[in-house]
Amino acid sequence: MTTPPPPAGIAGPSTARQYNAHQDGKSAYEEDRAVARRLRDLGLDTKLMADQNRAFVLRAVDHTARDLGIDQVLDIGCGLPADSGPNVHTLVEEVHPDARIVYVDHDPLVRLHADALLHGHTATTTFVEADLRDPDAILDAAHQALDFSRPIGLLLGAVAHFIRDEEQPHALVSQLVDALPPGSALVLSHATDDYAPQVIRRAEALLADVGVQSRARSRTTIEQFFTGLHLVEPGLVPVHQWRQPDAEIAAVPPSEVHEYGAVAIKPAPAGESDAELLGDRAYLSSRQEEGVLIVTVSGMVEDREHPPLRDRLNALVDESTKDVVLDLQGVTFLVPAGLGFVLGLRLELEEDGRRLHLLGGEPVHKLLRITGAKVPLHDDLAQALAAAQGKRWRR
Ligand SMILES: C[S@@+](CC[C@H](N)C(=O)[O-])C[C@H]1O[C@@H](n2cnc3c(N)ncnc32)[C@H](O)[C@@H]1O
């Protein structure tokens, strides 16, 4: 049996403090700076590596919040609060003021800093001291703070490489992803040994000497964390090249950064219901209830018009004579103007003297704001049905 790595502790080795040392941060101890110097002596530019990983995490979170409309984040291995630059909760709150964030880390020092940072902050951002190797405990805590019926962003920034092969990192991540609803996103970055395996093995040995277990992995092995998910463009790439707006940084050789990252979306389960698959990843089911046609769309809509979905919706609407309730609670729009097919439907119904009622959360609300369209948006099905039937809604 192998000896388990020591738990992170305020006095013991801490990858959170070491990461801070790589970034020339204020919270590291002298022993962490010494580790950073020894890694640099091996030829690793640990400042570049840490800075580019952090920048990837922030770009990816911005993408999930802004473009995918995700307003709940489970950030595991969140690290110490940033000395400079935004923290995850502030970034998401810029887009979604009522965002819910659960930070998780196994290091008690991170908890101390998080308690201080979040003191007086809204109760919608919380910190849980837990270990990635115990997903049950993480999920129990997350269920208390997040709404698991709506998409959640699972953030695993530079943490899965601290899980040894025998601890089954892929199974741990799968268990977390399996618990998330469709439309959720996995953001993951991970150290790689693709570019300089010998140097990376020496770095791992050096870290093991100071009590830190780590395992850089190949791109193929890292890609397996995303099995069953839909990778958003540009897929799994060196972190500094992922949607990098700065051409100079994008041109840095990946052999200087040694880290891959990606964002992927959890699709609706195929074949689980009587929903029809339209296009690659959108699902549609429909039923009549008290004269109202209720259409449920889930999965992903990746373009503005989505012809298969538009055509199917038009056919259904033509067959019905009543108002339509379109339930968009389980769908992710990959482009901000992805509601194009809905707006086309609205015009068609209005021409016919009928109304379209939408059911969807803040992402749909936001898309309507962007497009400027006036479509009644409801919180739940009973409310939408009552409105479609012309009844007054009483709670
Ligand atoms: C390199 S830092 C990354 C911080 C942040 N996620 C980022 O990408 O900017 C790794 C963090 O993961 C935490 N960590 C390492 N192993 C962990 C585990 N098994 N469970 C929970 N957190 C862990 C460390 O305490 C540290 O805060």
pLDDT for residue 145 is more than 60: yes
Strands 324-333 and 356-359: parallel
Residue 211 sits in the same domain as residue 73: yes
Q: Count CB atoms within 10 A of the CB of residue 237.
A: 19
- For the chain, the domain total comes to 2
In-domain check, residue 179:
yes
Residue 79 sits in the same domain as residue 228: yes
pLDDT for residue 269 is more than 60: yes
pLDDT of 2 reads 44
Q: What is the DSSP string of 68-136?
A: S---EEEEET--SPPSSS--HHHHHHHH-TT-EEEEEES-HHHHHHHHHHHTTS-TTEEEEE--TT-HH
Domain of 341?
276-388
Q: Which of 213, 245, 265 is the last residue of a domain?
A: 265
The tens digit of pLDDT for each residue in 179-197 reads 999 889 999 999 999 999 9
Provide Rg for the chain, Cα atoms: 23
Residue 260 sits in the same domain as residue 315: no
Query: What average pLDDT does the chain have?
Result: 88
Q: Which of 235, 265, 295 is the last residue of a domain?
A: 265
| Confidence label for 120 from pLDDT (cuts 50, 70 and 90) | confident
In-domain check, residue 10:
no
In-domain check, residue 144:
yes
Q: Count CB atoms within 10 A of the CB of residue 20.
A: 26
Which residue matches tokens 């067959």? 319
Residue 155 sits in the same domain as residue 19: yes
In-domain check, residue 137:
yes
pLDDT of 1 reads 39
How far is ligand 1, taken at its centre, from the CA of residue 210, in Å?
16
pLDDT of 331 reads 81
In-domain check, residue 394:
no
Residue 322 sits in the same domain as residue 356: yes
pLDDT for residue 301 is more than 90: no
Residue 340 sits in the same domain as residue 206: no
The tens digit of pLDDT for each residue in 323-359 reads 899 988 878 777 766 677 777 888 888 888 888 999 8
Residues contacting 323, CB < 8 A, separation 6+ = 292, 293, 349, 354, 355, 356, 357, 388, 389
Q: Could you report how far apart the first and last alpha carbons of the chain are, in Å?
A: 60
Ligand 1 test: best mutation among 105, 165, 173, most atoms within 8 Å of CB?
Answer: 105
Report residue 364: phi and psi, to 5°: -70, -40
Residue 252 sits in the same domain as residue 303: no
Residues lining ligand 1, Cβ inside 6 A: 8, 15-16, 19, 53-54, 57, 76-79, 105-107, 110, 131-133, 157-159, 162
In-domain check, residue 260:
yes
pLDDT of 394 reads 44
Residue 221 sits in the same domain as residue 334: no
Task: Report which secondary-structure segment, H or E, holds 230.
Answer: strand 230-231
Ligand 1 test: best mutation among 32, 128, 159, most atoms within 8 Å of CB?
Answer: 159
CATH number of the CATH domain containing 361: 3.30.750.24
pLDDT of 103 reads 96
| Confidence label for 133 from pLDDT (cuts 50, 70 and 90) | very high
CATH number of the CATH domain containing 199: 3.40.50.150
**pTM for this predicted structure:** 0.76
Residue 217 sits in the same domain as residue 286: no
Residue 220 sits in the same domain as residue 300: no
Q: Which of 240, 195, 156, 108 is nearest to 203 (CA)?
A: 195
In-domain check, residue 4:
no
Residue 60 sits in the same domain as residue 192: yes
Angle at 252 between CA 247 and CA 256, to 5 degrees: 155
pLDDT for residue 242 is more than 70: yes
Sequence letter at residue 325 = V
Residue 56 sits in the same domain as residue 201: yes
In-domain check, residue 204:
yes
Q: Is 319 helix (H, G, I), strand (E, B) or coil?
A: helix
Express as a percent the part of the chain with pLDDT over 90. Answer: 53
List the single range of 80-84, 156-160, 161-165, 200-204 with lowest mean pLDDT: 80-84
Residues contacting 164, CB < 8 A, separation 6+ = 2, 5, 213, 215
Q: Which of 230, 265, 300 is the last residue of a domain?
A: 265
Is residue 192 exposed (0-12), middle (13-18) or buried (19+ Cβ within 10 Å)?
buried
